[in-house]
Structure 1
């Protein structure tokens, strides 16, 4: 919890003020039974009206002090807690953005969402309640005991006889609560994961009529959350009855022996009333302990989960914001005996891959699903780090490049087109926020999407739905390509990014891209596309099994000839079908 609550340090003065006001309010509450005792003994029993009026007015004035202290305390407590929650959520989000992909994949997406939402809210509320009432309850118990000894030490002993039991009982329940509520938060992660998967795949679920199955799957994980929450809450519900049972026994002892002391002259009536008053205040404070332990247990479990993110700094990406001018060097690319395997998995995804692409050349990358094509592309901008070997961009090893400069020199179009909620113009400028409108339009023309945008009622101001839901697959791919072109990259990476385009549009796209000075790496399954490349890299199970021009591979590679022949047969069959 230390790391998490360190984000409250900037708000130490609002916290100090809130604590001072809480202590002032508490002091008034602890003094009142003494004043009541004085009014009873020196006023009512002595029939002294002046004492009654004097101390009555003092009690009223103190009540107003406590009232206004509580209001101002709430203001400062809310300010400190909300600001702390804001800073903590910002820190978590920045930390996630700084993760390398290897670190990011350690956490399920649903778990990160839970940490940034409900876990932050949990500790934020605990800070607020701590400054408002949670710290006040134990202090009220301790203060009431001390004041009870001040009033009458003999009667106060009956109040503390159950203290050892209560201390060990509360300690035990707090430890158990942390374990139970950590499990509850993990269950909540799983519920969020199922919800996320379901909402992302809603079209597929409807198309396959799998709504009933998905509802059943959600019901199972939600039921596990319900059961664990019920178990945790039942455990916590034992606290209040146990506390009240012990306190009621103590209160009965005070009344019984107090009456004897008053009768024998060992105590005054006002003292007995004050002790009983303190006992009632302690009982009221103990009724808050169940809530406090539940809140503390959940906050501790949440803070430990957030701390996992905040201290996961063994593999953070460091972005140097100062440009070194390296991106001006061009787009020459060279792999030398590069191997890669995911952490914890001994099987290599890439095995001793070597090739060279000169600046301005176009390399087509082919291979079966799972052959390592996308992984190879991810190593260039260091989304993943090569396990062995070296990768050079413009003759400089990628590890020697400042990460910002390296990625600024690359335009990446991923296999799955990702668009953000906002206008088309905003999505295009996401590639370069300083790009002018005419530059965005020029990139859209090269990507063969300008004419489609022009047909929209609001043109470039057209809103893109979540993940581009209101656009076709081909439109999303072309917008993604345009966004990459806006960057004016030295290396343009297209990871199977033209699969949804028709032949005519794709050919027009390649013709437009021929004028680009960028080195192009194109993952494709189409021989027709590969033929237009300067070189072709053929992968099979992570190894290079062919490298050269189309003509070279037709002579040297049986696998490449097999792919070419199968696609030729498909095209002939398709043409025959069209003619018929």
Structure 2
């Protein structure tokens, strides 16, 4: 919890003020029984009305002080807690942004969402409640005991008889509570994961009529969360009855022996009333302990989960937002015996891959699913770090490039087109926030999407739904390509990014890209696309099994010949179908 609550340090003065006001309010509450005792003994019992009016007025004044202290305390406590929650959430989000992919894959997406939402809320609520009532409850118990001894030592002893038992019991319950609620938070992760998967695949679920199955799957994980939460809460509910039993037994002892002391002259009526008053306040404070332990247990479990993210410093992308400008990417790319193994795996996904692409050349990368094509592309901007070998960009190893400088010169179009909620203009600007409207339109024209945008009523102001739900697959791909072109990259990476385009549109796209001064790496399954490349890299199970021009591979590679023949047969069949 130390790491998480260190984010409250910038708000130390509001916290100090809130604590001071809480102690002021507490002091008033602890003084009141003494004043009541004085009014009873020196006023009511002695028949002195002046004492009653004087100390009654003092009590009223102190009550107003306590009231205003409580109101102002709430203001400062809320300010400190909300600001702390904001900073903590920001720190977690920045940390996630700094993760390498290897680190990111250690955490389920649903788990990160839970940490950024409910876990932060849990910690922020505990800070607020701590400044308002959570610290007040134990201090009220301790203060009441001390004041009880100040009033009458003999009667106060009855209030501390059960203290050792209560301390041991509360420690045990707090320890068990942390364990139980940590398990509850993990169950919540699983519920969030199922919800996330379901919402992302809603079209597929409807198409396959799997709504009932998904509802059943959600019901199972939700029921596990319910059972674990009930189990944890049931155990916590044991706290209050046991605390009240011990305190009520102590109170009965005070009343019984106090009455004897008053009768024998060993204590005054006011003293007995004061001790009973302190006992009642202790009982009320103890009744808060079950809530405090539940809140503390959940906050500690949440803090430990957040610390896993905040302390994951072993593998972060450390790069400045400022460009050094010392290296220039001319688009020359070379792989020298590069291998890669995913963290936690034994078999390499890439094995001794070597090739060279000169500035301005176009390299087509082909291979079956799982052959390592996308992984190879991810090594260039260092989304993943190679396991062995060397990768050179413009003659400099990628590790020697400042990460910002390297990625600023690369345009990446991923296999799955990702668009963000906002306008089409917002999505294009995402490629380069400083690009003007003319540059955005020029990129859209090259990507063959400008005419489609022009047909929308709001044109470039058209809103894009979540993940581009209101656009076709081809439109999303072309927008993704335009977004990459806006960057004016030295290396343009297209990871099977034209699969949804028809032949005419794809041909027009490649013609428009001929004028780009960029080295292009194109993952494709289409022989006709590969034919237009300067070189073709053929991968099979992570190894290079062919490298050269289309004509070279037609002569040298049996696998490439097989792919070409199968696609020729498909094209002939398609022609027959169209003509029939």
TM-score, with structure 1 as normaliser: 1.00
Tell me how far apart the structure 2 counterparts of residues 493 and 433 of structure 1 sit (CA, whole Å): 20
- Per-residue deviation at 1:357? 0.3
Tell me how far apart the structure 2 counterparts of residues 192 and 350 of structure 1 sit (CA, whole Å): 34
- Contact in 1 for aligned 2:327/2:401 (Cα 8 Å): no
- Per-residue deviation at 1:180? 0.3
Matched with 2:206 is 206
Deviations along 1:541-564, one digit per CA (max 9) or x if unpaired, are 000000000000000000000000
- Per-residue deviation at 1:325? 2.4
Tell me how far apart the structure 2 counterparts of residues 326 and 454 of structure 1 sit (CA, whole Å): 41
- Per-residue deviation at 1:323? 1.6
SS across alignment from 1:329: coil
Please show how residues 431-580 of structure 1 align to structure 2 within 5 Å.
431-580=431-580
Tell me how far apart the structure 2 counterparts of residues 122 and 326 of structure 1 sit (CA, whole Å): 46
Tell me how far apart the structure 2 counterparts of residues 331 and 154 of structure 1 sit (CA, whole Å): 89
Tell me how far apart the structure 2 counterparts of residues 49 and 429 of structure 1 sit (CA, whole Å): 81
Deviations along 1:402-427, one digit per CA (max 9) or x if unpaired, are 00000001000000000000000000
The answer on 1:228 being equivalent to 2:228 is yes
Please show how residues 102-121 of structure 1 align to structure 2 within 5 Å.
102-121=102-121
Matched with 1:407 is 407
Tell me how far apart the structure 1 counterparts of residues 21 and 153 of structure 2 sit (CA, whole Å): 29
Which runs of at least 4 in structure 1 moved beyond 6 Å after TM superposition? none
Tell me how far apart the structure 2 counterparts of residues 262 and 185 of structure 1 sit (CA, whole Å): 54
- Contact in 1 for aligned 2:18/2:76 (Cα 8 Å): yes
Tell me how far apart the structure 1 counterparts of residues 187 and 315 of structure 2 sit (CA, whole Å): 28
- Contact in 2 for aligned 1:327/1:408 (Cα 8 Å): no
Deviations along 1:300-333, one digit per CA (max 9) or x if unpaired, are 0000000000000100001122323256331000
- For structure 2, which runs of at least 5 residues remain unmatched after alignment? none
SS across alignment from 1:492: strand
Tell me how far apart the structure 1 counterparts of residues 324 and 525 of structure 2 sit (CA, whole Å): 37
- Per-residue deviation at 1:344? 1.1
Matched with 2:418 is 418
- Per-residue deviation at 1:340? 0.3
Tell me how far apart the structure 1 counterparts of residues 421 and 159 of structure 2 sit (CA, whole Å): 62
SS across alignment from 2:328: helix
- Contact in 1 for aligned 2:362/2:534 (Cα 8 Å): yes
Matched with 1:215 is 215
Matched with 2:90 is 90
Matched with 1:141 is 141
Deviations along 1:507-563, one digit per CA (max 9) or x if unpaired, are 000000011010000000000000000000000000000000000000000000000
Matched with 1:373 is 373
- Contact in 1 for aligned 2:371/2:541 (Cα 8 Å): yes
Tell me how far apart the structure 2 counterparts of residues 496 and 341 of structure 1 sit (CA, whole Å): 22
Tell me how far apart the structure 1 counterparts of residues 513 and 258 of structure 2 sit (CA, whole Å): 96
- Contact in 2 for aligned 1:530/1:536 (Cα 8 Å): yes
Matched with 1:10 is 10
Deviations along 1:88-133, one digit per CA (max 9) or x if unpaired, are 0000000000000000000000000000000000000000000000
Matched with 2:81 is 81
Please show how residues 265-344 of structure 1 align to structure 2 within 5 Å.
265-326=265-326, 328-344=328-344
- Per-residue deviation at 1:291? 0.2
- Contact in 2 for aligned 1:327/1:490 (Cα 8 Å): no
Deviations along 1:165-214, one digit per CA (max 9) or x if unpaired, are 00000000000000000000000000000000000000000000000000
Deviations along 1:347-367, one digit per CA (max 9) or x if unpaired, are 000000000000000000000
Deviations along 1:10-62, one digit per CA (max 9) or x if unpaired, are 00000000000000000000000000000000000000000000000000000
SS across alignment from 2:355: strand
Matched with 1:255 is 255
The answer on 1:428 being equivalent to 2:428 is yes
Deviations along 1:150-176, one digit per CA (max 9) or x if unpaired, are 000000000000001000000000000
Tell me how far apart the structure 1 counterparts of residues 144 and 375 of structure 2 sit (CA, whole Å): 66
- Contact in 1 for aligned 2:336/2:389 (Cα 8 Å): yes
Tell me how far apart the structure 1 counterparts of residues 322 and 125 of structure 2 sit (CA, whole Å): 40
- For structure 1, which runs of at least 5 residues remain unmatched after alignment? none
Count of aligned residue pairs for this structure pair: 580
Deviations along 1:195-241, one digit per CA (max 9) or x if unpaired, are 00000000000000000000000000000000000000000000000
TM-score, with structure 2 as normaliser: 1.00
Deviations along 1:359-391, one digit per CA (max 9) or x if unpaired, are 000000000000000000000000000000000
The answer on 1:350 being equivalent to 2:340 is no
Tell me how far apart the structure 2 counterparts of residues 361 and 325 of structure 1 sit (CA, whole Å): 24
Tell me how far apart the structure 2 counterparts of residues 89 and 324 of structure 1 sit (CA, whole Å): 30
SS across alignment from 1:366: strand
Matched with 1:173 is 173
Tell me how far apart the structure 2 counterparts of residues 514 and 552 of structure 1 sit (CA, whole Å): 23
SS across alignment from 2:191: helix
Tell me how far apart the structure 1 counterparts of residues 311 and 508 of structure 2 sit (CA, whole Å): 49
- Contact in 2 for aligned 1:424/1:464 (Cα 8 Å): yes
Pairwise CA RMSD? 0.5
Tell me how far apart the structure 2 counterparts of residues 573 and 328 of structure 1 sit (CA, whole Å): 49
Deviations along 1:49-93, one digit per CA (max 9) or x if unpaired, are 000000000000000000000000000000000000000000000
Matched with 1:360 is 360
- Contact in 1 for aligned 2:35/2:55 (Cα 8 Å): yes
Tell me how far apart the structure 2 counterparts of residues 202 and 520 of structure 1 sit (CA, whole Å): 35
SS across alignment from 1:50: helix
